[in-house]
Structure 1
Amino acid sequence: MTWGWTGVRGTWATPSASHSLRAMADHGVNWTAIAYSALQETAQSTDVRFREAPTVTDDEVVWAIREAKGLGLKVCLKPVVNVADGTWRAYIGFFDRDVPGEPTWGEWFASYREFILHAARIAESEGCEMLCIGCEMVRADAREDEWRALIAAVRAVYSGVVTYNCDKYQEDRLSWWDAVDVVTSSGYYPIDRWDAELDRIENAVAAAGKPFFFMEAGCPSREGSPDRPNDWSLAGAPSGAAQLRYYEAMFAACDARPWVRGFMLWDWPPRLYADDEAAANDDYCPYGKPAGEFLREAYGLRAADAEMSQQP
């Protein structure tokens, strides 16, 4: 499960955040992606301001890692860049060839590299099992040389598993999967498209020769969302039943594919809504909803099955 998004300063390292992590762990979760964002002004800015508010502080990041590990969870640290004006990070981009007086990919990667290496050092010092070096950077994905150089720099300071979270439909478009340890993507596929998309992804994963899981996957608890699970602003009445239907379909499709190693489900906020507000909540978090009970049952049964399989 992904926890903490978007990493707003002052919302971590609180009693509410501690309660949220404990509640998340109670749903069969064994891994968490601790996710936070740093801002750049526009999609063509080259300064990633990761030391400034509203980004969480280093102390808050360390607190979250230690809190999660204290609950027995493995941790993937997931630093992400966002655009302050609301533009989706997939549109961050510059001219293919440098032009005097215009922002360049080299300038942007220099700032982004500083951001990611800072996170990598924290991940190493705190024993994070995994580090995600980017998320849904569709226009930047084509910059193979820059990503390879960044990954090499990360490996010089971080000894754990390195991955990159490509966007949906991009699994077969990256040319540098060999540089990471695990292939991951955002699996926001329409409920009736899972089998077809898994067929396509399977070919990409086989070509890469790497393990695979969905670094993001989920669906808002909202009418209409199973058909457009990536659209967090879709209009519709709250519906726990719709979210449950999506979870059931997603799990069934992926269970039939042993090469899918699991999910880092989206998502779990640092401050939970009250139990009696769950039915009216139409966001991705499954807490207090039918999908939450589904997770408890699904992962509880799987844990029991795994234990039985180890019996003589």
Structure 2
Amino acid sequence: MKCKKILLSALVLLGLACTSRGQKINGLSFVASPNKISKKQIIPVQKVSANYVSLMPFGFIRSLDEPLVKFNEKWQWFGETSAGVSQYADLFKSNDIQVMLKPQIWVHGGLYTGKIAMNDEESWKRLESSYRDFITTFAALAEKEGIPVLCIGTELEQFVQNRPEYWTALIVDIRKIYSGKLTYAANWDEFKRVPFWGELDYIGVDAYFPLTPAKKVDKEAFKVAWNSHKEEIKAVREKYQKPVVFTEYGYRSVHHTGREPWDAKRIEGQVDLQAQQLALEALYETFWQEPWFAGGFVWKWFADHENVGGPNNNRFTPQNKPAEITIKNAYQQ
């Protein structure tokens, strides 16, 4: 057991050493599936030259003011549970792909997690206790599996703003059981107000910044639109002297993809494969050469590669679209 622990610690340090030497995190947000994965699901990840994936186990709450986080339930998909994370992580690591563990909350009905807020002090305390159980369970798993990066929360703005002392104490507790690097996935309109960046290792941003309302993407116009957002990101980075990682980034293959990049409501039609491609190119050309920028994770990548995406799909996944080649070209550099 002692030898195993030493080996796992060495794997964590190796992953941290790679990023500290300047190698970008060329990552994919790997969506959990109902089943175990195999080498078949790893090969497409390798083909786009990704060196990281984020694994996303889920906790569930019934409403925005419900304090109980349920996780590792029998009815969850395998990939959303501790057992699934272990199986996925072991397979990725054995194929030289590192992992960021990114436990997330799902609110019933798909309501936005940034609005989770309690109505009274007792409920806040219950939420704090329940979330602590959730995140420390996965922090301990990340330590056991030698996972080099842990994201301690995703888009929880009201929870963070209302309970800053809780989050500061939580980070201390996580560091007692997890020796890797920590980040938090702040929404694009939240990251400037997160009070605890100084306590983490990366400034994490879910980078769905609005860029242009245009129907068709013009790459140069996208790059110009990035300028003001980039300056705001740099200002936060300079304040805390931490590298920035895009914990999520991506665009849909749809008209007006830069208007509200977070928008997932248009289910069908208006397919624009080139828009997704050019929007990604603009992002890579804007950020990937910056020394303070650590890299990021494309949203999103499914295990069943051969049956997702494709030329008639207007969703976020780049799979089986021209954007897949765009990502490969960027990640190979």
TM, length-normalised to structure 1: 0.87
Match of 2:298, SS? Answer: coil
The aligned amino acid for 1:125 is: K
What is residue 137 of structure 2 aligned with on the other side?
Answer: 118
What is residue 77 of structure 1 aligned with on the other side?
Answer: 101
The aligned amino acid for 2:271 is: P
Count matched residues: 290
Equivalent of 1:164 in 161, 184, 199? 184
Query: Once the two structures are superposed, what CA deviation does each residue of 1:70-109 show, in whole Å capped at 9, x if it has no partner?
Result: 22111111111111232111111024x62xxxx5221101
CA distance in 2, matches of 1:256, 1:30: 17
Is residue 208 from structure 1 mapped to residue 240 from structure 2 by the alignment? yes
Equivalent of 1:13 in 13, 24, 36? 36
Match of 2:118, SS? Answer: coil
The offset of 1:256, in angstroms, is: 5.6
Match of 1:75, SS? Answer: strand
What is residue 59 of structure 2 aligned with on the other side?
Answer: 38
CA distance in 2, matches of 1:167, 1:3: 16
Q: Is the 8 A contact 1:4 1:36 kept in 2?
A: no
Q: Is the 8 A contact 1:12 1:64 kept in 2?
A: no
More helix by share: 2
CA distance in 1, matches of 2:189, 2:280: 19
What is residue 19 of structure 2 aligned with on the other side?
Answer: none
TM, length-normalised to structure 2: 0.82
CA distance in 1, matches of 2:157, 2:35: 29
Equivalent of 1:234 in 266, 276, 279? 266
CA distance in 2, matches of 1:210, 1:227: 29
Q: Is the 8 A contact 2:29 2:297 kept in 1?
A: no
Structure 2: where are the runs of 5+ without partners? Answer: 1-26, 212-221
CA distance in 2, matches of 1:4, 1:254: 22
CA RMSD for the aligned pairs? Answer: 1.8
Match of 2:152, SS? Answer: strand
Equivalent of 1:265 in 278, 286, 298? 298
The aligned amino acid for 1:294 is: T
The aligned amino acid for 2:312 is: A
Q: List aligned pairs for 1:17-166, cutoff 5 A.
A: 18-52=39-73, 53-55=75-77, 56-95=80-119, 98=121, 104-142=123-161, 143-166=163-186
CA distance in 1, matches of 2:194, 2:301: 28
Counterparts in 2 of 1:84 and 1:273: CA distance versus 1, 3 Å? farther
Match of 1:227, SS? Answer: coil
Q: Is the 8 A contact 1:226 1:243 kept in 2?
A: no
The offset of 1:295, in angstroms, is: 1.6
Counterparts in 2 of 1:3 and 1:263: CA distance versus 1, 3 Å? closer
Counting aligned pairs with the same residue, the percent is: 25
What is residue 218 of structure 1 aligned with on the other side?
Answer: 250
The aligned amino acid for 2:36 is: A
Match of 1:134, SS? Answer: strand
The offset of 1:273, in angstroms, is: 4.4
CA distance in 2, matches of 1:295, 1:87: 30
Ranges of 4+ aligned residues in structure 1 off by more than 6 Å: none
Q: Is the 8 A contact 1:166 1:186 kept in 2?
A: yes
Q: Is the 8 A contact 1:219 1:229 kept in 2?
A: yes
